[in-house]
Amino acid sequence: MDEMEEELKCPVCGSFFREPLILPCSHNLCQACARNILVQTPEAESPRSRRASGSAGSDYDYLDLDKMSLYSEADSGYGSYGGFASAPTTPCQKSPNGVRVFPPAAPPPPASAASSSAAAASSACLAPVPRNACLTCPLCHRSLILDERGLRGFAKNRVLEGVIERYQQSKAAALRCQLCEKAPKEAAVMCEQCDVFYCEPCRLRCHPPRGPLAKHRLLPPAQGRVSRRLSPRKVATCTDHELENHSMYCVQCKSPVCYQCLEEGKHASHEVKALGAMWKLHKSQLSQALNGLSDRAKEAKEFLVQLRNMVQQIQENSVEFEACLVAQCDALIDALNRRKAQLLSRVNKEHEHKLKVVRDQISHCTVKLRQTTGLMEYCLEVIKENDPSGFLQISDALIRRVHLTEDQWGKGTLSPRMTTDFDLNLDNAPLLQSIHQLDFVQMKVPAAPILQLEECCTHNNSATLSWKQPPLSTVQVDGYILELDDGNGGQFREVYVGKETMCTVDGLHFNSTYSARVKAFNKTGVSPYSKTLVLQTSEVAWFSFDPSTAHSDIIFSNDNLTVTCNSYDDRVVLGKTGFSKGLHYWELSIDRYDNHPDPAFGVARVDVLKDVMLGKDEKAWAMYVDNNRSWFMHNNSHTNRTEGGITKGATVGVLLDLTRRTLTFSINEDQQGPVAFENLEGIFFPAVSLNRNVQVTLHTGLPVPDFYHARGTMQ
């Protein structure tokens, strides 16, 4: 019940309600608090003065109108509502429980002046209010201009009083003084007549044992609690007729009324019902409303449990993820240290190589220099000899040796074979860039997509599918893979791969059932499949002629259903839909037929020749017909001449049965000749060839004619 306590506290004083009044906005105020926040409006703005001056513009008594007005924060004042004057702007302050309230027009009297007795304070609450007083609800900020009854015009909330009383009795805490302004002290007595608990200082100050108060009976707090609980609850009386009890309920005003209100008051013409019946009805309605609210509260509790579990899960996942991150970074550091050791080893090898080369060169030069120095000293000693013949015997050889030695020093011997610089430069820029770009990526595969059934549909032999990711999924998706089976319960095959979430698949078989599914993928992997969606293509085909593949001389009209030609030569036009499976029938009505031309009707491949009569090449199967007879033609081979031609208004039917792999023609719903062609395989498009003397209109989506059913029965 602790959660209910805020419902039992006044929004102005922050304490439990004392003599709560019900405002028209359904909020409650202590009677004393209501009087404290009254604001007096200027006489010029009162409803009476405006009504007396004729400015109100209403024939109704202002007391019978809804005196509520909306508080406007935009202009810091009160907007008028229902034809009543707006109240003046009043500075607001905070109540003990944080609600904005409006102070009284005049400051309250000091405590010493108001402490004569609790009874005097209680009677002061019922004293006449200032004329044209305005009361503003501190919760919804609606303002109400009071009539001459003042606060007595508001009903007391006896139910709320009873709930507060039961709530306080359920508390085991000691009873507190009801007159202490700040921290209430423990109550010492309770006045049975005033129905107020006093601490000893407040009793001496507010309830002295003299005068009329001397006859009041003071009880111990515990006994006073029992006395208050056992005392009969006061019977509510009518706010308009204080001596009358409520006996009926006004449906229009939604308030209890007395019989006098029904006879002579403002409720005389209103619909009323028995008070007890409406009491039970409203209790039932409140119970039903509470059932719905209870369900929402139950869901909220379950949701809070889910959120708390999420908090725990987030904490656990965070610890796990941090450990994984530390391990990954440590692995990178270990890899860097290993690479560092490898690079240092290369540097050491280069260092040893350079030292070896230089040391070898030092050793070689040292030996050479010693040999050169010895030769020089020997030559100097030879020069000192005075024997000419002896000198000449060795001088040539010595000269050659000196020149040879000199030449040996001149062939790069005095140039270092190795530089002191290390020709190694660590290329760390890519690694530094990679370190700076090191960031988190999605490490999970996407969740299974959801097919949006309301947007998936089929049209003719095309299927449009739409899907989306689950609402709470945050995993990155790189693309989707849409798969369809073969329309006959076979294996699935990919029909789309990409980032779009909607795809239309054309060229399906008519009157077939396809199963579709989709999955998502990213760099980590592929999601599970979505639920499988079953699609049914149309039983019959609806199509028109195709301008994009027709000869340029063909003229289209009637939404591409009617064609003619501006040339005297035959030109070919195809239908938009190709067939590879099933039974299909369409008709062409002859709108114009001049000078006995030979139009041709049938089927063809998409790459058929467009500037010759249909059937002239191997990619068309046709029946060409004049006003007397017809022929079947394929690859310029004419067969099965049949009597019976066409005129204006005639109808030519084309029946393509790819189950039996046959093509049959009719004129005016009668079969024309035998089965025209057999053993047809592949994809076939409806086709017509005509010249400027003929105009035809295409009719599709037709049932198979009776002659074909009869022939099938005979077979």
634 has a pLDDT exceeding 80 = yes
Average pLDDT of the chain to the nearest whole number:
81
Asked if 15 contacts 32 with a C-beta cutoff of 8 angstroms, the reply is: no
For every residue of 188-217, DSSP letters joined together read -EEETTTTEEE-HHHHHHHS-SSGGGGGSP
Which residue, 653, 664, 534, 512, is CA-closest to 582? 512
In this predicted structure, the answer to whether residue 63 has a pLDDT above a threshold of 70 is no
Q: What is the tens place of the pLDDT at every residue in 170-222?
A: 664 567 888 888 888 888 898 988 888 899 999 988 899 888 888 898 988 87
Query: Tens of pLDDT along 500-534?
Result: 999 999 888 888 899 999 999 998 889 999 999 99
Closest among 125, 117, 121, 119 to 205, alpha carbons compared? 117
| pLDDT tens-digit series, residues 300-340 | 989 999 899 989 999 998 999 899 999 999 999 999 999 99
What six digits make up the tokens of 58?
């209403």
pLDDT band with cut points at 50, 70 and 90 for residue 131:
low
Query: Which residues, in sequence order, are CB contacts of 706 under 8 Å at separation 6+?
Result: 669
User: Tokens for 340?
Assistant: 């560092």
- Over residues 337-363, the pLDDT tens digits come to 999 999 999 899 989 999 999 999 899
- Distance, CA of 97 to chain centre: 37
Structure confidence at residue 517 (pLDDT): 95
Mean local confidence (pLDDT), 129-151: 78
Give the contacts of 303 (CB within 8 A, at least 6 positions apart). Answer: none
User: Binning pLDDT at 50, 70 and 90, where does residue 50 land?
Assistant: very low
How high is the pLDDT of residue 231? 54
pLDDT of residue 78: 35
- pLDDT band at 645, cuts 50/70/90? very high
In this predicted model, which residue has the larger pLDDT, 187 or 235? 187
Average pLDDT over residues 273-281: 85
Per-residue model confidence (pLDDT) at position 619? 95
Residues facing residue 493 across a β-bridge: 484
Higher model confidence: residue 79 or residue 344? 344
pLDDT in tens, 605-617: 999 999 999 999 9
What is the predicted pLDDT for the residue at 410?
A: 76
| Higher-confidence position of 116 and 32 | 32
Question: Residue 464 pLDDT > 70, yes or no?
Answer: yes
pLDDT value at position 696? 96
CA angle 66–68–73, rounded 5-degree value: 155
What the block records as the tokens of 261 is: 């209100």
User: The tokens of 258 are what?
Assistant: 């007395």
Lowest mean per-residue pLDDT among 120-134, 385-399, 505-519:
120-134
Q: Give 557-565 contacts, CB < 8 A, sequence gap 24+.
A: 558/697, 561/697, 561/698, 561/699, 562/591, 562/695, 562/696, 562/697, 562/698, 563/688, 563/690, 563/695, 563/696, 563/698, 564/592, 564/690, 564/692, 564/694, 564/695, 564/696, 565/690, 565/691, 565/692, 565/694
pLDDT of 509: 85
Q: Are 192 and 216 in contact (CB under 8 A)?
A: yes
Q: What is the pLDDT of residue 646?
A: 95
Q: What distance, in Å, lies between the first and last C-alpha atoms of the chain?
A: 87
Pairing of strands 651-657, 583-593: antiparallel
β-bridge partners, 458: 463
Among 239-248, 310-319, 352-361, 631-640, which stretch is predicted with the lowest mean pLDDT?
239-248
The type of residue at 118 is: A
Q: Which two tokens stand for residue 693?
A: 């003397």
pLDDT at 492 exceeding the cut of 70: yes
Under a CB-based contact definition with an 8 Å cutoff, are residues 125 and 31 in contact? Answer: yes
pLDDT at 656: 94
Cα angle vertex 608, ends 606, 611, to 5°? 130
Distance separating alpha carbons of residues 251 and 210, to the nearest angstrom? 50
Which range has the worst mean pLDDT, 134-138, 196-200, 594-598?
134-138
pTM of the model: 0.42
For 99, other C-beta atoms within 10 Å of its C-beta total: 16
CA 370 to chain CA centroid, nearest Å: 93
Residue whose C-alpha is closest to residue 40's, from 156, 137, 176, 135:
135
Runs of H (alpha helix) within 39-105: 47-52
* Average pLDDT rounded to a whole number, residues 79-91: 36
Q: For 230, what's the count of Cα atoms within 13 Å in the CB-facing half-sphere?
A: 7
Q: What is the pLDDT of residue 322?
A: 92
Q: What is the pLDDT of residues 695-707, one digit of tens each?
A: 999 999 898 888 7
% of residues, the chain, pLDDT over 70: 82
Paired tokens of 384:
């000192």
CB atoms within 10 A of CB 258: 22
- Of residues 236 and 506, more confidence is placed in 506
Give percent above pLDDT 90 in the chain: 37
Confidence of residue 160 (pLDDT cuts 50, 70, 90): confident
Q: CA dihedral defined by 666, 672, 675, 677, rounded to 10 degrees?
A: -80
159-195 core/surface letters (b: 16 or more CB in 10 A; e: else): ebbebbeebbeeeeeebbbbbeeeebbebbbbbbebb
Position 98 pLDDT exceeds 70 = no
Provide the 8-state DSSP code for 545.
B
Q: 581 pLDDT exceeds 70?
A: yes
